[in-house]
Structure 1
Amino acid sequence: MYRFLLTPRWLGYLALTLVAATVMVFLGNWQLDRYRGRTAVNERIDAGATMTPAPLRDALPAPTGGAGTVGPAPTEQLTWSRVTATGRYDSANVVLVRGRTLDNKVGFEVLTPLVLADGSAVLVDRGWIPPVPGAGATTQPRVPAAPGGEVTVTGRVVGSESGGGGVARRDGTLEARRIDIAKLAKQLPYPVTGGYVLLDGQTPAPDPAFQAVQIGHTNNWQNFGYVWQWWIFAVMSLVGYGWVARREARRLAGLDGPDEPRDRAAEPASPTSA
Structure 2
Amino acid sequence: MYRFLLTPRWLGYLALALVAAVVMVFLGNWQLDRYRGRTEINERIDAGQRMTPAPLRDALPAPTGGAGTAGPAPAEEKVYTRVTVTGRYDATNTVLVRGRTVDSRVGFEVLTPLVLPDGSAVLVDRGWIPPAPGGATARPEVPAAPTGDVTVVGRVHESESRPGAVERLDGRLETRRIAVPRLAHELPYPVYGAYVLLDEQTPQADRTFIAVPVGHTNNWQNLGYIVQWWLFAVMTLFAYGWAARREARRAAGLDKRPVDRAAEPVPSTPV
- Contact kept, 8 Å, 2:159 with 2:180, in 1: the verdict is yes
The answer to whether residue 131 in structure 2 is matched with residue 131 in structure 1 is yes
Superposed CA RMSD in Å reads 1.1
- In the superposition, the TM-score normalised over structure 1's length comes to 0.91
Alignment of 1:161-180 (within 5 A): 161-180=160-179
Paired amino acid for 2:142: V
- Offset, 1:220: 1.1
Q: Distance in 1 between matches of 2:46 and 2:38?
A: 12
Q: Corresponding residue for 1:268?
A: none
- Contact kept, 8 Å, 2:63 with 2:190, in 1: the verdict is yes
Q: Distance in 1 between matches of 2:47 and 2:31?
A: 24
Q: Distance in 2 between matches of 1:164 and 1:117?
A: 29
Equivalent position SS for 1:77: helix
Q: Corresponding residue for 2:239?
A: 240
Q: Corresponding residue for 1:219?
A: 218
Q: Distance in 1 between matches of 2:180 and 2:214?
A: 19
Runs of 4+ aligned structure 1 residues displaced above 4 Å come to none
Alignment of 1:52-131 (within 5 A): 52-131=52-131
Paired amino acid for 1:92: T
Paired amino acid for 1:77: E
Q: Corresponding residue for 1:34?
A: 34
Equivalent position SS for 1:169: strand
Deviation by residue 1:201-256 (Cα, 9 ceiling, x = unmatched)? 00000000001111111111111111111111111100011001111122222223
Equivalent position SS for 2:77: coil
Equivalent position SS for 1:152: strand
Equivalent position SS for 2:76: coil
Paired amino acid for 1:199: L
Deviates more, 1:234-243 or 1:157-166: 157-166
The answer to whether residue 49 in structure 2 is matched with residue 17 in structure 1 is no
- Residues paired across the two proteins, number: 257
Paired amino acid for 1:29: N
- Contact kept, 8 Å, 2:246 with 2:255, in 1: the verdict is no
Q: Distance in 1 between matches of 2:128 and 2:247?
A: 66
Q: Which runs of 5+ in 1 are unaligned?
A: 259-274
Deviation by residue 1:168-202 (Cα, 9 ceiling, x = unmatched)? 11111111111001110011111110110000000
Q: Distance in 2 between matches of 1:84 and 1:94?
A: 20
- In the superposition, the TM-score normalised over structure 2's length comes to 0.92
- Offset, 1:164: 5.0
- Offset, 1:257: 4.1
- Contact kept, 8 Å, 2:87 with 2:117, in 1: the verdict is yes
Q: Distance in 2 between matches of 1:193 and 1:41?
A: 22
Q: Which runs of 5+ in 2 are unaligned?
A: 258-271
The answer to whether residue 151 in structure 2 is matched with residue 155 in structure 1 is no
Q: Distance in 2 between matches of 1:236 and 1:42?
A: 33
Identical counterparts, % of pairs: 75
Deviates more, 1:18-27 or 1:135-144: 135-144
Q: Distance in 1 between matches of 2:163 and 2:112?
A: 19
